[in-house]
Structure 1
Amino acid sequence: MVETEDFLKSGSVVLACTPSVSWESKNISLPEVVDKIENGNSLYIGSCAATAESTLQELTDNWKLADIRIIQMLPGGNLPHLSENVDRFRTLSFYSFQRTGYYQQDAGEGLQDYSPVSVVSVPRLLREGELHVDVAIIKVTPPHKNFVSLGMGVELTKDFIRHAKLVIAEVNENMPWTEGHSKIPCSDIDWWVSVNKPLSTTKELWPGFFEQPTFAPEVLEKIGENVIKEIPDRATVKFGVSPLCYSIFPFLRQRKDLGLHNDLLTETLFRLHEEGVITNKYKTIDTGRTVVSQAHGSQDLYEFIDRNPILEFKSGSYINDPQVLAKIDNLITVVGSLKVDLTGQVATDSISTKFYGGVWSDIESILGAKLSKGGKPIVIQPSKSLHGRSNIVLALPPGTGVSVTRSDVEYIVTEYGVAYIYGKSIRERCLALIDIAHPDFRDELLEQAKAAGYISQSQPGKFSKNSYPKQFECNHTTKSGKKVLVRPIKPVDEDNLRKFFHNLSDQSIYLRYFRRMKSMPQRILQKTADIDYSRDMAIVVLSPPDAYQHDIVGIAQWISDPRGLHIPEIAFQVRDDWQGEGLGKYLFRKIMAAAKTMGIMKLKADVLATNKAMNVTFEKSGIPIMKSSDFGVITYTFDLEAVDLSTLQDS
């Protein structure tokens, strides 16, 4: 076989374009295709709308053939051979039939095999003979200057053609001619058959799949809202093939000038090109062009693809090569998962002994984004399964495959938030993941983590009692223009609290705690960071605001009396090197607004008389106060009953 790239480099254009066997002499009918195939052959067929369905139907209907092995990267379309028996057809796929809706109960007998191999590994399997192919059956465009285009079925088709003994093409005038590495010389094709049927749309490829039970729209919407915060303008995005990733696509409309480097071009991603969301202007490689290897959608999408110079179809091994991905700055990859354990192990293709997807390019996507300058690898999953079980578990069920190891995971996203766990200890991972687990399971997960020795028995676990109050999150700009993130505290902030304490001067520590302290006891750190959000509150100021490796530069809190006998007491503090930025006044009004919102109408504070800055802030707050003094300590009682909440929030 002549490889297109080698052919073009050879300079032998005239010779290669005048093959000894004419194109028309290779034309055969569908029934004649069967005669070209031998019993026991392994056949590669394309995926999605590039599946040679008519030829496959003819092979199935003709009873001459037996013991045929079908190799397909991603199942889809009319696959009549799946209703046959193992003596006639067996199928090998790199994505589980259970997820695509084609799974049959007799898969255990060998009719349908799933290979848990990543896309980039398949060419090596072919080179080393571990994966054998006799015949490649492909779908192509009509010839143009002695070349045909693989259209939107590039995936790994050229690799299979290179190693196949025979290449048979369905020539379809409806197949778009695509740019990129999609062209092959007519001389690479041994036989061809004309089939001019319309290409299958997404719903025709997977009939009934979109009517299957799925996650609640509000759950997917919240996941999308959490993910889009991690995607900046001008980023390049890449998504796994899990249908869960599709829920993120509509949220991309909130961003500008995105790039796309992805396995699949889908209907929504096509529309985002038309709307000017995806422009590829700022991609550091393949600038100005979307790069994909397959596509499926509507007939409008197929017309959009045809001879469109802004699209390039390239091999799946190029799309998913971590070394290629690493060259793309600000690459955000999103992978859908089935389960995550409390140490950060991710399962994407199986739960226990059942397979629901494929490893596809998950680990390569994670590694590529990790190596990308400004990149982020994101794993998404709903907190609950369709059966109502927690998707965040102490340990993955026995038999479950680990697709992404705990050492490679960075971002885990559910509808309840984002857990950044890269480089974190097991204790920190547990607390972060429990924080984004479904509230129904948080207490149980906490107790399991304690029993396993993952976290301390002294961990209060108050945070698991109520949902994180996301409404108090905001960005803020200080007097000198510094950007900070302001949010309620989380248990994972414990180590940052310790660091915050040790960055305070001795004088600041004395003014806050009324005594000299050389260290912050663990019990105080836990009590401050692990709170019941329905009773207590602590708000921290974080810098930088758009990263997960940040420092606490200020904190405000109140602590309620568990017996309800006393007025909750507030305290706040700003790191010495951040004083003068107006954060003291801002935090005071922020904590007061939070109290008013939660129905707390009275707060008190004890302040040393020598703490002039704090006393001035309280005296000029505009909030009605009662004041008393005893042994150099001034006690303020704040009455929020008549205070307009908007005056606190707008300041």
Structure 2
Amino acid sequence: MKQHKDAHEALSVVLSGQRIFVHGAASTPLRLIDGLVSHAGRLRDVEVMHLHTFGDAAYADPACAESFRVANLFVGGNMRRYYDGGRVDYLPCFLSEIPALFRSGERPIDVALIHLSPPDDHGFCTLGCSVDVALEAIRTARTVIAQINPRMPRVHGDGFVHISRIDHYIEVDDPIPEVPRPVLGEVERAIGRHAAALIEDGATLQMGIGAIPDAVLGALHGHRHLGVHTEMWSDGLLDLIEIGAVDNSRKKSHRGKSVSGFIMGSNRVYEFIDDNPSVIQARIDWVNSPHEIAKNPRVTAINSAVEVDLTGQVCADSIGHRIISGVGGQMDFIRGASLSEGGKPIIALPSRARNGASRIVPALRSGGGVVTTRSHVHYIITEYGVANLYGRTLNERAEALIAIAHPDDREMLAREWRAIRAVSG
């Protein structure tokens, strides 16, 4: 283990042709990324691989084309402008299966860049806000380079990393990236009310970050004995914990604990999770295992979509051929919730996009990826209501989806569905 004076010096061990894993979400090691980019002049054909990250991702800039290429496991907002499907590409994989991708040698990691809390008296740091796939990256990487930060929360669970596992490190004192809370409109609030009506007291929740998840959580303040087993969470869930609506008392797995793979939000969230034994961050192949998810009662999984076709196919990672996010854990939790006793897998989306186009469509646009298949889908929610597609024929599904589309789009959708039936019949 070697301490370095700065990130440029620490990253001098990276060689051309290597594959670099970058810790993601609120644990993005921004100083180490700057150090990596500072070596662009000498490096060639280095692959950078990660989930969603913060920062400007300068290694993806065309100015660094000879030095770096990117394999996105999730295309975050900072990467969309660089995505070209070539040098900056997307690797589709269920989030729960990414650790196996590392272990199998299918995508071996040469260097892992990670962001840690300081070591305790026994020499253990933690992965803080983001355990997810980073734990397996550390276990399989040939070289581990860390930035150690006293502002990183010390979080209980699987994310302990002994200082002896670190090959090179720098010390920083930087704020953890924060995510501002979304502004909720009436569309999101209506979706939240519809979703909350499906959620029972004692349910186990999975939902992400953004306006719709926050609207759902905001509509649950009157609920009791809710539990948390989720890929990630943020401020909206903390509100429910603080008022006692979430107490994790009815869960069968890790009762009394809020379980997740990563957390990102405001500094208020980071202060809450610091050394808090009621919060567990676990490796993502366990958190997102449908078998583990299903152990809990009434798992209610709420995920989003770009568009849903009239047979129930859900596109959630692209607009046509343009990748805007990733497969993530949607299918992991859709399947886990459906296997849970009393579980409810839900896809929630506004009836229309910002440009006014219907997001319930006769057919997915060309190039649109099917993230959740029509065989897996159960509930679809818009601001106009709930369509339960489980156990429904294709024609029954189309009728139910048309009924929750924007009123001005329903005639068009019905006409298009009649045309589809005429061709398919």
TM more than 0.5: yes
Preserved contact between residue 385 and residue 404 of structure 2 (Cα < 8 Å) = yes
Q: How do residues 329-478 of structure 1 correspond to structure 2 at under 5 angstroms?
A: 329-453=297-421
> Are residues 1:65 and 2:40 paired?
no
Preserved contact between residue 426 and residue 454 of structure 1 (Cα < 8 Å) = no
Q: Distance between the aligned counterparts of 1:243 and 1:220, measured in 2?
A: 6
- Residue 244 of structure 1 and its aligned partner are, at CA, apart by 4.1
Q: Distance between the aligned counterparts of 1:410 and 1:454, measured in 2?
A: 26
Q: Where does residue 75 of structure 1 map in the other structure?
A: 53
Q: Structure 2: any 5+ residue segments left out of the alignment?
A: none
Q: Where does residue 233 of structure 2 map in the other structure?
A: 265
Q: Distance between the aligned counterparts of 1:351 and 1:79, measured in 2?
A: 22
Preserved contact between residue 332 and residue 377 of structure 1 (Cα < 8 Å) = yes
- Residue 454 of structure 1 and its aligned partner are, at CA, apart by 7.2
Q: Distance between the aligned counterparts of 1:248 and 1:321, measured in 2?
A: 24
Q: Where does residue 48 of structure 1 map in the other structure?
A: 25
- Residue 356 of structure 1 and its aligned partner are, at CA, apart by 2.1
Q: Distance between the aligned counterparts of 2:340 and 2:57, measured in 1?
A: 39
Q: 1:96 aligns with which of 53, 75, 82?
A: 75
Q: Structure 1: any 5+ residue segments left out of the alignment?
A: 1-24, 204-208, 458-651
Helix, strand or coil for the counterpart of 2:174?
A: coil
| Greater Cα radius of gyration, structure 1 or 2 | 1
Q: Distance between the aligned counterparts of 2:386 and 2:424, measured in 1?
A: 23
Q: Distance between the aligned counterparts of 1:232 and 1:297, measured in 2?
A: 26
Deviation per CA, 1:339-395: give whole Å up to 9, x if none: 111111111111321122211011111110110001000011111111111111111
Q: Distance between the aligned counterparts of 2:355 and 2:108, measured in 1?
A: 39
Preserved contact between residue 56 and residue 78 of structure 2 (Cα < 8 Å) = no
- Residue 432 of structure 1 and its aligned partner are, at CA, apart by 0.7
Q: 1:166 aligns with which of 140, 143, 155?
A: 143
So what's the TM-score if we normalise by structure 2? Answer: 0.94
- Residue 247 of structure 1 and its aligned partner are, at CA, apart by 3.3
Helix, strand or coil for the counterpart of 2:248?
A: coil
Deviation per CA, 1:570-604: give whole Å up to 9, x if none: xxxxxxxxxxxxxxxxxxxxxxxxxxxxxxxxxxx
Q: Where does residue 64 of structure 2 map in the other structure?
A: 85
* CA gap 1:369/1:402 in 2 versus in 1, 3 angstroms: same
Q: Distance between the aligned counterparts of 1:177 and 1:42, measured in 2?
A: 28
Q: How do residues 220-299 of structure 1 correspond to structure 2 at under 5 angstroms?
A: 220-240=188-208, 244-299=212-267
Helix, strand or coil for the counterpart of 1:139?
A: strand
Q: Distance between the aligned counterparts of 1:55 and 1:297, measured in 2?
A: 22
Query: Which amino acid in 2 is paired with 1:187?
Result: S
Preserved contact between residue 191 and residue 212 of structure 2 (Cα < 8 Å) = no
Q: Distance between the aligned counterparts of 1:275 and 1:102, measured in 2?
A: 37
Q: Where does residue 143 of structure 1 map in the other structure?
A: 119
Q: Where does residue 201 of structure 1 map in the other structure?
A: 178
Query: Which amino acid in 1 is paired with 2:249?
Result: K
Q: Distance between the aligned counterparts of 1:452 and 1:197, measured in 2?
A: 56
Query: Which amino acid in 1 is paired with 2:217?
Result: F
**Bigger mean CA deviation after superposition, 361-370 or 240-249:** 240-249
- Residue 455 of structure 1 and its aligned partner are, at CA, apart by 12
Q: Distance between the aligned counterparts of 2:148 and 2:56, measured in 1?
A: 17
Preserved contact between residue 242 and residue 335 of structure 1 (Cα < 8 Å) = no
Percent identity of paired positions between Structure 1 and Structure 2: 33
Q: Where does residue 105 of structure 2 map in the other structure?
A: 129
Q: Where does residue 320 of structure 1 map in the other structure?
A: 288
Q: Distance between the aligned counterparts of 2:211 and 2:106, measured in 1?
A: 30
**Bigger mean CA deviation after superposition, 246-255 or 275-284:** 246-255
Q: Where does residue 35 of structure 1 map in the other structure?
A: 12
- Residue 101 of structure 1 and its aligned partner are, at CA, apart by 4.5
> Are residues 1:108 and 2:84 paired?
yes
Helix, strand or coil for the counterpart of 2:83?
A: helix
- Residue 243 of structure 1 and its aligned partner are, at CA, apart by 5.9
Q: Distance between the aligned counterparts of 2:230 and 2:56, measured in 1?
A: 25
Over the residues paired in the alignment, what is the CA RMSD in angstroms?
2.1
Q: Where has structure 1 moved over 6 Å in runs of 4 or more?
A: 454-457
Deviation per CA, 1:145-180: give whole Å up to 9, x if none: 121111112111111112110011111111111111
Preserved contact between residue 80 and residue 324 of structure 2 (Cα < 8 Å) = no
Q: Where does residue 526 of structure 1 map in the other structure?
A: none
- Residue 456 of structure 1 and its aligned partner are, at CA, apart by 13
Q: Where does residue 18 of structure 1 map in the other structure?
A: none
Q: Distance between the aligned counterparts of 2:214 and 2:238, measured in 1?
A: 13
Preserved contact between residue 409 and residue 421 of structure 1 (Cα < 8 Å) = yes
Preserved contact between residue 25 and residue 51 of structure 2 (Cα < 8 Å) = no
Q: Distance between the aligned counterparts of 1:415 and 1:455, measured in 2?
A: 31
Preserved contact between residue 240 and residue 362 of structure 1 (Cα < 8 Å) = no
